[in-house]
Structure 1
Amino acid sequence: MAFWIFIALLVVVVLWVVGLYNRLVRARNEVRNAWSQIDVQLKRRWDLIPNLVETVKGYMHHERETLEAVTKARQQAISISGDVAARAQAENVLSQTLRSLFAVAENYPELKANQNFLALQEELTSTENKIAFARQYYNDSVLRLNNLIQMFPSNIIANQFGFKPEVYFELETPQERQRPEVRF
């Protein structure tokens, strides 16, 4: 009788370990999926930027520095692979240069009325919103995984199988946390 109780207890423990391990794997895969969703939107943004720059070039011969900064930031963002922190920093620089491009574009009424520019600006704005949602989903997924890795009793299984906490996608500069100023 004691043998069967021991076997039943062993089966329960094994099933518990398997269940926790599977939750950890599911959470890790969710983080990877969330990051790939960010990648999809970033690729879309990278593809839109050359069209936007070419459209703006025709109107803004004087703003060469801004156009070069956008192109350089795009190239740096594309070339970085690897950890989340480095990619996040490059993408934040690209976002800042795009903001400066749109700010400069405000000085060109003919450009603001150009349909190609307006369409590209709308596409880029839509893409930026999708990136923001993808980043939020990624951070939510990281939170779930990190909670599992750090909370008892799943932390025991996580440590045994080498699960590591993931890094959040965060803002790099304090200016990005500030509310934008709108003037009419």
Structure 2
Amino acid sequence: MFYLIALLIVLLIIAWLILIYNRLVKLRILTEQAWADVDVQLKRRHDLIPNLVETVKGYASHERKTLEEVVKLRNVATSATSPQEKIEAENMLTRALRQLFALAENYPDLKASANFQKLQDELARIEETISQARRYFNAVVRDYNTAISVFPNNLIAGPLGFSPKIFFETEEEQRAVPQVKF
């Protein structure tokens, strides 16, 4: 009878460990899938940028420095490999794109261009989709990081190689509320 109770306790502990492990694996896979979704949207943005730059070039050819910076940062963003590198590169690219659109304000013909407006609208849609994908990714990372940090999961997560994931956060200056002056 004692052996039967001991066996039952051991089986319950093993089942409990398996459940925790499977939940952690599921959450890790969700974070990887959520990052892939963000990455797809970032690729869509990268594919749109050359068209946008070419359109602006036709109207603002003497603004070469800004255009070259956008192209350079796009190339950096597409060649980044780790999530941390991609996040940093994407934040720099976002700043450069804002400068590009600010530059467009100085060229009424460019602002009136149907092609530029179409590209700007498409980029705005992509940016919104990126924002949604980033929010989902951050929510999944939060759940994963919480799951590997709480007791008793942390007793299993650490030895089995589950490490915290980083959030896709925007830089402080992107969070700032724009000032409107009349």
Q: TM-score, normalised on structure 1?
A: 0.94
Structure 1 stretches of 4+ moved >3 Å: none
Take 1:56 and 1:162, find their aligned partners in 2: how far apart are those partners?
48
The residue number in structure 2 matching 1:101 is 100
1:58 is paired with a residue of what secondary structure? helix
One-letter amino acid matched to 2:85: A
Take 2:69 and 2:9, find their aligned partners in 1: how far apart are those partners?
64
Asked if 1:10 is matched to 2:10, the reply is yes
Shift of the alpha carbon at 1:182? 3.2
The residue number in structure 2 matching 1:39 is 39
Asked if 1:86 is matched to 2:85, the reply is yes
Take 1:134 and 1:93, find their aligned partners in 2: how far apart are those partners?
19
Asked if 1:156 is matched to 2:155, the reply is yes
Shift of the alpha carbon at 1:183? 4.5
One-letter amino acid matched to 1:51: N
2:132 is paired with a residue of what secondary structure? helix
Take 2:102 and 2:179, find their aligned partners in 1: how far apart are those partners?
12
Superposed counterparts of 1:102-121, under 5 Å: 102-121=101-120
After superposition, the C-alpha distances for 1:100-157 in whole angstroms (9 at most, x for unaligned) are: 0000101111111111111110110111111111111111111111111110011111
Shift of the alpha carbon at 1:170? 2.0
The residue number in structure 2 matching 1:26 is 26
The residue number in structure 1 matching 2:177 is 179
Which 10-residue stretch deviates more, 1-10 or 69-78? 1-10
Which 10-residue stretch deviates more, 132-141 or 36-45? 132-141
Identity of counterpart residues, as a percentage? Answer: 49
Take 1:160 and 1:92, find their aligned partners in 2: how far apart are those partners?
34
Aligned length: 182
Gaps of 5+ in 2: none
Take 2:148 and 2:123, find their aligned partners in 1: how far apart are those partners?
37
One-letter amino acid matched to 2:116: F
Take 2:180 and 2:135, find their aligned partners in 1: how far apart are those partners?
25
Q: CA RMSD in A?
A: 1.2
The residue number in structure 2 matching 1:74 is 74
